[in-house]
Chains A and B, each alone.
Chain A
Amino acid sequence: MLIDLLSRWPLIRQLQTGADGTGTEAMSTNTRNLRPKTLGAQVTPSICPYCGVGCGQLVFHREGKLIAIEGDPKSPISRGHLCPKGADTLELHTHPGRLKKVKYRRPYSRSWEEIDLEIAMDMVADRLWDSRQRTFQESKDGDVLMQTTAIAHLGGATLDNEENYLIKKLFSAGLGMVCISNQARI
């Protein structure tokens, strides 16, 4: 144990190696054992959420916690690089301003309340059904209309294709909502 302690003493190491005390011999145990935090972590390939370039990203994580998000060198488009926004994707997921609970505002209320997710879903389904029942028009002048213009949807360009698919499928093909739009035009 004494030998172990002595061997970790920079002075001893300096004498042993004959160095001048400014190199690796002067490193602490921490420094000598330094490894990147992503070593041994799981790596999941993903895509950047920001612009339309579609840079490849590698998401490093361990036990359900995100560690780092970097570029994917294999991507033929981005070749491992990221812009400042893509490089900040980890903070996008972990910053303190992220919502974790459903917030609910009663009519005329001056503040938010937190409510349970399943209850919120039930409430939204009720309002959607209700509004639709009241405003749906099956036909006009004897011709098929099958629509409601009283409920609308906005959003899509930041969503996945599968999400947009389900939105259009349920809202239009299922519920007859025609007022559907998103950021895209051209």
Chain B
Amino acid sequence: MPGLGTSFGRGAATTAQQDLSNADVILIMGSSMAENHPVGFQWVVEAREKGAKVIHVDPRFTRTSAMADIWVPLRAGSDILFLGALIRYVLENNKQFGDYVVNYTNAPMILREDFRDTEDLDGLFSGWNRKKEEYNPETWLYQGAAINVGHVDHKPGQADFGGGHGKDRGGEAQDPGQYEEDRTLAHPRCVFQVLKRHFSRYTPEIVERFCGVPTEMFLKVAETFSSASGPDKTGAICYAVGWTQHSKGVQIIRAAAILQLLLGNIGRPGGGVLALRGHASIQGSTDIPTLYDILPGYLPMPFFEADSKTFKNYIKKHSVRTGLWSAFEKYFVSLMKAYYGGGATKANDWGFDWLPRVTGDHSHFGYWLDMADGKLEGLFVMGQNPAVGGANGRLERKALAKLKWLVVRDMVESETASFWYDSPEVKRGELSPGTIATEIFLFPAAGTAEKEGTFTNTQRLLQYRNKAVDPPGDARSDTWFMYHLGRRMKQKAAQDSESHNDGLRALTWKYTVKGEHEEPDVQEVLKEINGYTVADGKQLAHIKDLRKDGSTACGAWIYCGVYPEYNRANERNPKDLLGHGWGFAWPNDCRIIYNRASARPDGKPWSERKKLVWWDEKKKQWTGLDTPDYEKKMAPDMPAKIHTGRGSEALGGARPFTLHPDGVGWIWVASGLKDGPLPTHYEPLESLLKNPLYGQQENPAVDKKARRDNPYADSPGDRRYPYILSTYRLTEHHTAGGMTRTLSHLAELQPELFTEVSPEFAAEVGLRHGEYATITTPRATIEARVLVTPRVRPLRINGRIVHQVGLPYHWGYSGQTTGDVVNDLLVISEEPNVRIMETKALVCDVKPGRRPRGKPAIENPLV
């Protein structure tokens, strides 16, 4: 999401699934959409039936490739090489949508003289601090930009402890100040020229040698995709976890974003970048985050740093002079009023000092390693199954044994709940129940038909689920659990007058309960999220209604408008293709965001065929086929006052990317990302090859978390692990398997863990179809049935044959079908911006036959 967030302004898909049917070409990469989003894929099929070309780039020929016009196998982990070469192709052949690029992106902005590119520093950008292992991004800013806050250690747009999701993305340090631009795009230090130079060596020849994609196949893709550009044509890119779960995942998405900005595909029908989210409400779980570094609406958590010591500092740090984030204080104060109600007053800085400060890497892997070292007492796990879904499963499960207490909430007894008697560690004798002190509570959870609430799907759409029946027995919703837990905690706080409970006492926690189960009213929570005026409790209707004087409360400013007088998320009367009248898309029910870009700077559509939103000269407002993602009455000819103006108005009438302080799409991300303003090819953390382009082998800003129980293969080219491993999903199963391996109708569709290998690989290693293979990495050894298939191909990389092995990761030790945990093979690593692990490209060894069982005869800490 920071990939999308920094490029465009919001960390979310820019378009709706239905809109894919308007595309002239669709590139699916880092995703097998037909398998993992089958019902969404019907829109790709519609586009195809209308004549669109579908391109699928994937190491394996999958069910998606079976529906595509062009399938390109490539080496896992070489995506930026491929995308960079596409960018270079567009620039070399002048295929960019010129008017769009000049007016709606930061291509014309001129950069500082002291900036150095990866071309100059052999794979690093200027500002790398070797000792601290991080960048100071000051040299990446525009020439003339103003740096906001004056603390000595301040790194514009970055927080010490990560925080990849925070509003930092908006780049509060990227106050464009007195920036300069060259709209002829000729200045040697303008973004456009720097971009050209940065990708100049990403040639088709490099792609052939190091991605394994023959030149003519690459050119076919380049020609096809870049033809969907200009006023009359658009193309869309769909991606999923095949792009995100890499040590440079954010940068891969940045590369796609740059491509789409160059081709002028953002904010237009049939264009965009569709991030295909994998869980029912994973978009919601970052919007209303159960994440450590942000508050609802992507407001940053206060960090324990000089810049955020006081409320005043915190607001100053995160406010931007221009664009929608100029109203930061309004969003934040309204949130505090929702959290602390009457207890939040101007006098106490709205309860700012009751919020905990972030002091380190408190993400999943950050605290899990602390857990493994015995530093945590308690853990809640709700609707997640890290014993199967987490990287380095052995470490994950053994860490659980170090807790004092564990609370798991799930519909079934997941592997996380049963680790203490059923895990591979227990079976191997590494752990035994008799030595595990962890006290465990396993609460039965309600299913979706048994509770009401909203999900936010992959296209930012909030859809309300109504409750059909009661959950069985003592199963309850998580709303019920949290409400009653909170009630108990507040009861305890009422009797304990210590100051550290002030916030807890002030916390508003009055929700009406109904029925014999005392179920809290979920719609009251949604109403709080929407926001209301404090004085009379009236629901707010629009983000514009938020105030910073404490008169409004709002749980998540980006969702403001979902529940004005009625629950818009529960509306089920769709009026058009984009689905207006069905659910509520944030923000403000815009289905395709940044849609101002679908019209020319003068307000007329780029073309009749691709019209979406345009200026109505008579009514003097923006109108069209979608809710305008723009100030309704801001005329297109209103001049921008970026250098000196304030607020959203400063952007004028022709700058569609309203969350950015300069109102344009960011080909160049000056601040907000920890690993560079432009995507750069780095090899995966475990790779067979040296980086072909730079001396810098891997993403320098990655946090590898290397330790004895989280060991890495030597890279590049560890002889013990000569093959590339990638993990993926199947249609028939879902994530860690708790919702599918437990069901007979799905278990029988894919009843056993298997690995897909090419016939050449099987012959080389001695694998036989239908028998077993043992796969080993430095972390674990697992076994799987062998599926020999020509849909997996060896690739010729730099003159030698390279083999890739694929494994679906759904299996665990409980359910109707069980199998080894594939994620045990992975290493825990953290991409620098969002701390995601690398699952899509690592190295392994494969041998025929079944794996060893029982207690190891020799003490080996790695087995």
**CB of A17 to closest CB in B, whole Å:** 41
Residues of chain B lying within 8 A (CB to CB) of residue A175:
489, 504
**Is B115 in contact with chain A by the CB < 8 A criterion?**
no
Q: A161 with B284: in contact, given A59-B449, A95-B743, A150-B378 (CB under 8 Å)?
A: yes
Pair B507/A169 contact, Cβ less than 8 Å = yes
A179 touches B17 (CB 8 A): no
State in angstroms the CA–CA spacing of A85 and B422 once bound together: 26
A44 to chain B, nearest CB (A): 4
Answer whether residue B288 sits at the interface, using C-beta atoms and an 8 A cutoff: yes
B510-527 CB contact bits vs A (8 Å, 1 = yes)?
A: 000000000000100110
How far apart are A126's CB and chain B's nearest CB, in angstroms? 9
Known contacts A45-B572, A99-B410: does B3 contact A163 (CB below 8 Å)? no
Complex: chain A residue closest to B733, CB-CB: A85
Distance A12 CA – B68 CA, assembled complex (angstroms): 58
The reply to whether the CB of A159 lies closer than 8 angstroms to some CB of chain B is: yes
Docked-complex contact A46 and B443, CB < 8 angstroms: no
Measured between beta carbons, the chain B residues less than 8 angstroms from A57 are 449
Q: Which residues of A contact B739 (CB under 8 A)?
A: 49-50, 85, 92
Residues of A within 8 A of B835 (CB): 185
Chain A residue at minimal CB-CB distance from B380: A153
State whether B746 touches A84 (Cβ < 8 A).
yes
A131: B residues at CB distance < 8 A: 377-378, 404-405
Within 8 A of B (CB), among A87-138: 88-89, 91-93, 95, 97-112, 117, 120-125, 127-129, 131, 134-136, 138
CB distance from A122 to the nearest CB of B (A): 7
Give chain B nearest CB distance to A150 CB in angstroms: 5
Asked if A147 and B357 make an inter-chain contact with CB atoms under 8 angstroms apart, the answer reads yes
- Kindly state whether residue A10 has any CB partner on chain B within 8 Å: no
Contact of A92 among B375, B411, B500 (CB under 8 A): B411
A contacts with B: majority SS: mixed
Given that A99-B413, A136-B500, A157-B279 are contacting pairs, would A179 and B367 also be in contact in the complex, using a CB cutoff of 8 Å?
A: yes
B499 on the A face (CB < 8 A): yes
A147 contacts B359, CB within 8 Å?
A: yes
**In the complex, how many angstroms separate the beta carbon of A99 from the nearest chain B beta carbon?**
4
Given the contacts A46-B448, A105-B420, A168 and B39 also touching, CB distance less than 8 Å: no
Residue of B nearest to A100 (CB): B473
Residue ID in chain B nearest A138 by CB atoms: B500
1/0 per residue B281-325: CB within 8 Å of A? 111111111111001100001001000010000000000000000
Tell whether A42 is near chain B: CB-to-CB under 8 Å.
yes
A162 close to B474 (CB less than 8 A): no
B345 at the interface (CB under 8 A from A): no
Contact: B380 with A154, CB < 8 Å?
A: yes
User: Among the listed stretches A1-9, A18-26, A28-36, A63-71, which one makes contact with chain B, having 4 or more residues with CB under 8 Å of it?
Assistant: A63-71
**B residues less than 8 Å from A101 (CB atoms):** 444, 473-474
Residues of chain B within 8 A (CB-CB) of A76 are 18, 574, 576-579, 582
With the chains together, A161 CA to B563 CA distance in Å? Answer: 14
Q: Fill in one digit per residue for B777-816: 1 if any A CB lies within 8 Å of its CB, else 0.
A: 0000000000000000000000000000000000000011
Q: Give the nearest-CB partner of A166 in chain B.
A: B482
A103 vs B740: C-alpha distance when bound (angstroms)? 22
Question: From residue A67, how far is it (CB to closest CB) to chain B in Å?
Answer: 10
Partner of B507, one of A138, A173, A185: A173
Number of contacts between A and B (CB, 8 Å)? 495
| Residue B447 lies at the interface, judged by CB distance under 8 Å to chain A | yes
**Do residues A127 and B378 form an inter-chain contact, with CB atoms below 8 A?**
yes
The reply on A174 being an interface residue by CB < 8 A is yes
User: In the complex, how many angstroms separate the beta carbon of B689 from the nearest chain A beta carbon?
Assistant: 25
**Closest Cβ neighbor of A103 among chain B residues:** B442
Q: Which of B628-656 contact A (CB under 8 A)?
A: none
List residues of chain A with CB within 8 A of the CB of B435: 108
Q: 1/0 per position for B247-279, CB-CB distance to A under 8 A?
A: 001100100000000000000000000011111
B-contact bits for A52-82, CB 8 A (1 contact / 0 none): 1111110101001110010010111111011
- Closest Cβ–Cβ distance, residue A3 to chain B (whole Å): 44
Measured CA separation A14–B765 after assembly (Å): 69
Range for the number of chain A residues in contact with chain B: 35 or more
Q: Which residues of A contact B494 (CB under 8 A)?
A: none
Contact call B447/A106, Cβ cutoff below 8 A: no
Asked if B215 is at the interface (CB within 8 A of a chain A CB), the reply is: no
Flag if B746 contacts A178 (CB, 8 Å): no
Distance (whole angstroms) from the CB of A166 to the closest CB of chain B: 4
Interface pair B469/A146, CB less than 8 Å apart: no
A79 to B319, CA, bound (A): 42
Judge if A140 is at the interface, Cβ distance under 8 Å: yes
- Shortest Cβ distance from residue A23 to the other chain B in the assembled complex, whole angstroms: 34
What are the residues of chain A within 8 A of B287 when measuring CB–CB? 161
Q: A74-B574, A99-B475, A127-B378 are in contact. Are A85 and B734 (CB under 8 A)?
A: yes
B858 within 8 A of A: no
- Cβ-defined contact, A185 with B1, below 8 A: yes
* Contact A162/B370 with A124-B407, A173-B507 known, Cβ cut-off 8 Å: no
Contact status B488-A151, CB under 8 Å: no
Find the B residue at minimum CB distance from A173. Answer: B339
- B575-587 contact mask (Cβ, 8 Å, vs A): 1 or 0: 0111100100000
A170: interface (CB < 8 Å)? yes
Residues of B within 8 A of A88 (CB): 740, 743, 745-746
**Interface bits B362-401 vs A (CB < 8 Å: 1, else 0):** 1110110011000111111111101001000000000000
Q: Could you tell me the distance in whole angstroms from the C-beta of B367 to the nearest C-beta in chain A?
A: 4
Binds A, one of B178-186, B222-230, B456-464: B456-464
- Chain B nearest CB from A112 CB (Å) reads 7
B492 and A125 contact, CB distance less than 8 A: yes
How far, in whole Å, are A135 and B147 apart by their CA atoms in the complex? 38
The reply to whether A44 and B466 contact each other, CB–CB distance below 8 Å, is yes
Q: Is B280 interfacial (CB-CB < 8 Å)?
A: yes
Pick the contact of A54: B364, B455, B576 (CB < 8 A): B455
Q: A127-B405, A165-B529 are in contact. Are A44 and B444 (CB under 8 A)?
A: no
Q: A54-B280, A168-B290 are in contact. List 12 more A-B contacts (CB 8 A).
A: A51-B279, A54-B463, A101-B473, A107-B437, A117-B474, A144-B353, A152-B371, A166-B483, A170-B489, A174-B509, A178-B358, A184-B283
**Subset of 10 A-B contacts with CB under 8 Å:** A74-B572, A74-B573, A74-B582, A97-B815, A110-B433, A128-B485, A151-B377, A163-B453, A170-B489, A186-B275
User: What 9 A-B pairs have minimum CB-CB distances, sorted nearest first?
Assistant: A54-B457, A100-B473, A160-B453, A52-B277, A155-B382, A157-B279, A76-B579, A99-B444, A156-B285
Residues of A within 8 A of B (CB): 42, 44-57, 59, 61, 64-66, 69, 72, 74-79, 81-86, 88-89, 91-93, 95, 97-112, 117, 120-125, 127-129, 131, 134-136, 138, 140, 143-186
